[in-house]
Amino acid sequence: MKNLFSFLILTFAFTTTHFGQDAATATTASATIQPTIMAIPFARENQSLRGNYERNELVRIAITKVKDGFDQRGVNTIDFRAKLKQVSNNEVLTEDQQSSMKDDLISLSGADIYVEVEANPNRSNTGNSVTIIMTAYDAVSGESLANKVSNSPKFYTDNYEKLVEKAVEAEIENLLNTIQEKFNDIRENGRTVVLTVGVDIDADFDLDEETAEGDLLSEAIEDWVANNSLKGYYHMQGSTETKIIFDIVKIPLKDDKGRSYRVSKLASKLRNHLKKQGFAASRTIQGNNVVMTLSTLE
């Protein structure tokens, strides 16, 4: 671990509103920068985001109540229904596309955080209730930021809209507070990327190969990570002749142009660097995990 103390001002689209406070009372000296949040439906594997939203009235109600809860606390939100219509018109999201397509929706929305919302009715002879599950994720890295489960009180009623409202209100403040705590850490330390660099199975070299600059390939990769991670904050989990794993590589929240620093940018920069050293590199990115595979440069 190198230079464990790394600081970066969080430059999300900002406001002077502090999480958990009304806008009218949030102008304090400790006001924090606030991201844009979009509430979306939870969708299991092989389920369509749009289908799950349009066919499930309880989910639609829950998403509306979660968004309203954010809005009442001065949080910047993006309306899922409006964004869904936009991407559907662009033929980005279709009826038969599965829940993995949420990445396209989130990317096009410009949201910094998305909150998956799940709503389940509970019916019994002692009254009805609703269970709401809210899970917040960083839209860029996919890291989980907060998770809250809330049950409404039991009532002899079929007014599930009211039950959803009570369940959301019981935990929305705690959800925002947890997100704030995680953001404080992100503001200071950046996002975490897991980077794995391996050698193609058919390659005629390994990580002990000498680079164009005369260094061992493994050392050249580690030096590059040290120089390109946020404030040199990284940790190498292990290294062999064919693979090197960094379980922590910190990246900034914004690039020098004020745009979100995507995980793919780190991979592109490393690939360009390796090309100059005489090695080709393919990449696979899933969430905050980056896998680079090295081969001979043609």
pLDDT at 254: 81
Q: State how far the Cα of 162 lies from the Cα of 266, in Å rounded to an integer.
A: 46
111's tokens: 């949201």
Longest dimension (CA), the chain: 76
Task: Tell me which residues of the chain have a pLDDT lower than 70.
Answer: 1-33, 88-101
State whether residue 239 is helix, strand or coil: strand
| Domain definitions of the chain by residue range | 23-188, 191-296
pLDDT at 89 (0 to 100) = 65
Which DSSP category does 96 fall into?
T
Provide the pLDDT for residue 21: 42
Listed in order, strand segments (DSSP E) in the chain are 36-41, 76-78, 113-122, 129-138, 144-151, 191-199, 234-239, 243-251, 279-286, 289-296
The pLDDT of residue 32 is: 55
Q: How far apart are CA 147 and CA 25, in angstroms?
A: 26
- The per-residue pLDDT for range 164-199, each reduced to its tens digit, is 999 999 999 999 989 888 877 887 888 899 999 999
pLDDT of 162: 93
pLDDT recorded at residue 214? 81
Q: What pLDDT, on a 0 to 100 scale, did the predictor assign at position 91?
A: 53
In this predicted structure, what is the pLDDT of residue 184?
A: 76
CA distances from 191 to 53, 81, 112, 173, 244 (A): 30, 29, 13, 24, 20
pLDDT of residue 7: 31
Predicted local distance difference test score (pLDDT) of residue 30: 35
Q: What pLDDT score does 20 carry?
A: 42
For residue 158, how many other CB atoms are within 10 A of its CB? 11
Residue range 23-188, CATH number: 3.40.50.10610
